[in-house]
Amino acid sequence: MKILVAIKRVVDPGVRVHPLADGSGMDIAQAKMVMNPFCEIAVEQAIRVKEQMFSSEGVASEIVVVSIGAPVVQEQLRSALALGADRAIHIATESVLEPLAIAKVLHALIQQEQPQLVLLGKQSIDGDHNQTGQMLAALCDYPQGTFASRIECNADEVLVTRELDGGLQTLALRLPAVITTDLRLNQPRFPTMPNIIKARQKPLQLIPLAELALDVQPRLQTLAIESPTLRKKGIKVSSVAELVGKLRQEAKVL
Amino acid sequence: MTATINSKSVLVVVEPDANGFSPTNLKVMGAVARLREFIGLQVDLLVVGKDCAAVTATAARIPSIRQVLVADGASGEHQLAETLAPWIANLARDYDYVLMAATTFGKNLLPRIAALMDIQPITDVVAIVSASVFQRPIYAGSALVSVTTAQPITLLSIRASSFAAVQLGDAVAPITEIVPPKMQVMSRFISQQQVRTDRPELTSARVVISGGRGLQSSENFGLLYQLADKLGAAVGASRAAVDAGFVANDMQVGQTGKVVAPELYIAVGLSGAVQHLAGMSDSHIVVAINKDPDAPIFDVADYGLVADLFDAVPELIELL
């Protein structure tokens, strides 16, 4: 089985970021960058599917990991290779693409690679769009299992349990399918030193975005980026009785 | 379905829930009402499902709409995106705006519709600045970005907690039956575990009490339920508490969970990571109870109490 995983390089989720003073973007030039946490879960799941398909059915799988962006995204591709991906594809561009454009790029790549399973994080923690997987599934005319917390792969079908606002839903998707990963799907492993060294030898293919000849022009114009109105820091109360008094008399919410 | 001169047409995809008509729809209509402050609107609602007469009857009582379009049939039963998206994309071509709630229902469906229409949607809209300028949060709410678009159709998903609900009226809008979508074979519904609770729903509750890792165990969440019973509150949790297995995921409040904006939010044993603040910082009054005086939750709390929650919460229950 061939599994394609798309990953994104983002600011470390532990770093607090702020808009630039002129509102033109975020002040992230010096920030620590990592693989988007949801994408890490997608890479881990690909490795688990590969391990399970081999041990239960003797099926060999290949994991192809792809990222779109500047040369620095190769750091995250190498991380994915160190974790267990077999080869990497870097779609090179200096432009920041919108989700629809990213879906178009991945669609073009899927036509070349013909994977059975496509895994992505459910959202990136920078743009917070939560769109790319669904759009990719639409363009490929594949079924989609979004916000997955459990995946069970069979020969021609995958069972996906999805996390909904009011509970859990399980769907059966015909392969090939697109799945987007939620937090509880798995706990990603850490790479080992020998695997980090081995990853340097694994193939990393570079494809200039222009070679794909797609319409990736932005459809949205950003007018301003600003800080939200911050909540005013309140007061400390010294006892439960004082708290109840304030909530009743001052805030009038009880 | 061309709109009259000087007005635009809007299609709102109605979200069903376990009890029928989700109250979230009234918040989406609140966003439509806001849009109407800038431009004349002809608004159609779309109900799709199986045996959806009750949902349709409720939807028809939403004020100031042109009609409710209803597609009642087996194909719409579980609202599978693979079935609905091509069908809605086809309907949507006659409209200027398409709106849905930014719930797991809308998050799953809207981008699939958008891609089929070659439209870049704007998701999780928290403010409508004009008929063509929309604000949405990025970086877990660390920034708000205002965007505009010149695309022929504007597709929006609405963050419900940011808009006031409209009230159902007594007048009933016309109901138009339309042909349901075709069945597809690429995805099948297997099962659904619906969480049923007597408590108010998190995103619409007047009071929300959330617990964090400080609760230490699933059993200790019982304390918060006792407090919730006193206040008629919903109970939520931080990601840390969910990850630790204390409570189910659908209770998670934050960047990747639910976004709430109740009148009173009580954070108990919860540090206040940025990802959590993204889900509750629009609450009217915030109370924090934590034994760590340096916990960041105190920076956003109107009233902070530095105390051991296992002393403070029972005392609070006693005093209410």
Count of pairs with CB atoms under 8 A, one residue in A, one in B: 250
What ranges in A93-239 are assigned the alpha helix state H? 99-113, 132-140, 193-199
- Chain A closest CA to B25's CA: distance in Å? 14
Q: Is B195 on the interface with A (CB under 8 A)?
A: yes
**Residues B27, B161: contact at Cβ < 8 Å?**
yes
What's the confidence (pLDDT) of residue B4?
Answer: 52
Domains within chain A, CATH numbers bracketed: 2-223 (3.40.50.620)
Q: Is B119 on the interface with A (CB under 8 A)?
A: yes
Question: Given A16, A172, A220, which is nearest B274 (Cβ)?
Answer: A16
Token readout for A175 is 């392969």
Q: Which fold, B202-319?
A: Rossmann fold (3.40.50)
Q: Which residues of B touch A129 (CB under 8 A)?
A: 123-124
Contact call for B143 and A225, based on CB within 8 A: yes
Can you give the pTM of this predicted structure? 0.94
Question: In chain B, where are the structural domains located?
Answer: 7-177, 202-319
- B7-177 and B202-319, same CATH topology: yes
pLDDT in tens, chain A (254 residues): 999 999 999 999 989 899 999 988 999 999 999 999 999 999 999 999 999 999 988 888 999 999 999 999 999 999 999 999 999 999 999 999 999 999 999 999 999 999 999 999 999 999 999 999 999 999 999 999 999 999 999 888 999 999 998 889 999 999 999 999 999 899 999 999 999 999 999 999 999 999 999 999 999 999 999 999 888 889 999 999 999 999 999 999 99
The H or E element containing residue B290 is strand B285-290
Q: Is B43 on the interface with A (CB under 8 A)?
A: no
Which B residues, 197 through 216, put their C-beta within 8 Å of a C-beta on chain A? 203, 207
Contact call for A99 and B111, based on CB within 8 A: yes
Query: Which ipTM did the prediction report?
Result: 0.96
Q: What percent of chain B has pLDDT over 70?
A: 98
Q: Which residues of A touch B149 (CB under 8 A)?
A: 219-221
Q: Is B79 on the interface with A (CB under 8 A)?
A: no
Residue A207 CA to its chain's centroid (Å): 21
- Residue A106 half-sphere exposure toward CB, CA atoms < 13 A: 35
Which chain A residue has the Cα nearest residue B85? A138
**Banded pLDDT at B1 (limits 50, 70, 90):** very low
**Residues A181, A42: contact at Cβ < 8 Å?**
yes
Q: Domain B7-177: which CATH class?
A: alpha beta
